[in-house]
Chain A
């Protein structure tokens, strides 16, 4: 909300953002709907969500790996390319592990429930 307000005060380039501002108020509900739609698209279960997350993590890591190979063979043209790819793979790994840990924690809480 604050970002949209600041954008509206900008001169010329911010003009196209003005029509989007009214839709910002309804942002929460459609975003939730989009989440469930994405879940339906792949798999309803947690396994599907985690599986697609691991797939994207794999893609990020293999991208970083190929740049690391370029760095080793001397064909890397841009140092920052590799560092950014490695950093994104690192953050992606941390995110996936955090999601897995939290889900496992929730599962164990359910399993430990007294009936």
Chain B
């Protein structure tokens, strides 16, 4: 494969972590959404991660090894939570129905905050991988022949 595989692989992790952070910020931004009971509530966004299979690179036995080492991670898709939400009694809301009920988003803020910590840590860990790979390359380039 390429010359900078560790950097490219870690970059997929950075991208995936950023997509996860995007989804979490969307969930937190919509945490107070309210709709009428005839409509679905805001659906929590869940990012689905999947491993990227390795690709055989150049020639020789190293090619088979490249294929057995994966190419990082990718966002396979975004799963949506239940649109049922939470029924709340709020007769002063203009969206309330005859019984005074509205449908509020059912976003678990605690789960989103812990997910956010994991997404941030994942982002920083992959950046650390890039940084270490860069240091390793520069150590090789500093070799005196």
Using a CB–CB cutoff of 8 Å, the interface residues on chain A facing chain B are 4, 7, 14, 16-17, 20, 23-24, 26-27, 30-31, 33-34, 37, 78, 80-81, 84, 87-88, 91-92, 94-95, 98, 102, 105
If A20-B61, A20-B64, A31-B62 touch, does A84 touch B18 (CB 8 Å cutoff)?
Answer: no
Q: Give how many B residues have a beta carbon under 8 Å from the other chain's beta carbons.
A: 23
The answer, yes or no, to whether B60 is at the interface (CB within 8 Å) is yes
Q: Which residue of A lies closest to B58 (CB)?
A: A34
Our pick among A33, A87, A102 for the contact of B7 (Cβ within 8 Å) is: A87
A30 to B65 alpha-carbon distance, docked (Å): 14
Q: How far is the CB of B51 from chain A (nearest CB, A)?
A: 9
A91 to B8 alpha-carbon distance, docked (Å): 13
B97-129 at interface with A (beta carbon < 8 Å): 127
Q: How far is the CB of B43 from chain A (nearest CB, A)?
A: 23
If A17-B68, A80-B127, A88-B7 touch, does A27 touch B62 (CB 8 Å cutoff)?
Answer: yes
**Contact assessment for A87 and B68 in the assembled complex, using a CB-CB cutoff below 8 Å:** no
Using a CB–CB cutoff of 8 Å, the interface residues on chain B facing chain A are 3-4, 7-8, 11, 14-15, 18, 58-62, 64-65, 68, 127, 130, 134, 137-138, 141, 145
- Interface residues of chain A: helix, strand, loop or mixed (majority): helix
Q: How far is the CB of A109 from chain B (nearest CB, A)?
A: 11
A7 to B59 alpha-carbon distance, docked (Å): 21
**Chain A residues whose C-beta falls within 8 Å of the C-beta of B3 in the assembled complex:** 92, 95
**Contact assessment for B130 and A87 in the assembled complex, using a CB-CB cutoff below 8 Å:** yes
- Interface residues of chain B: helix, strand, loop or mixed (majority): helix
**Contact assessment for A80 and B61 in the assembled complex, using a CB-CB cutoff below 8 Å:** no
Known: A31-B61, A87-B134. 15 other contacts (CB 8 A): A4-B65, A17-B65, A24-B65, A27-B62, A34-B60, A78-B15, A80-B11, A80-B14, A80-B15, A81-B15, A84-B14, A87-B130, A88-B7, A91-B138, A94-B137
Q: How far is the CB of A42 from chain B (nearest CB, A)?
A: 14
Q: Which residue of A lies closest to B14 (CB)?
A: A80
Our pick among A14, A24, A95 for the contact of B141 (Cβ within 8 Å) is: A95
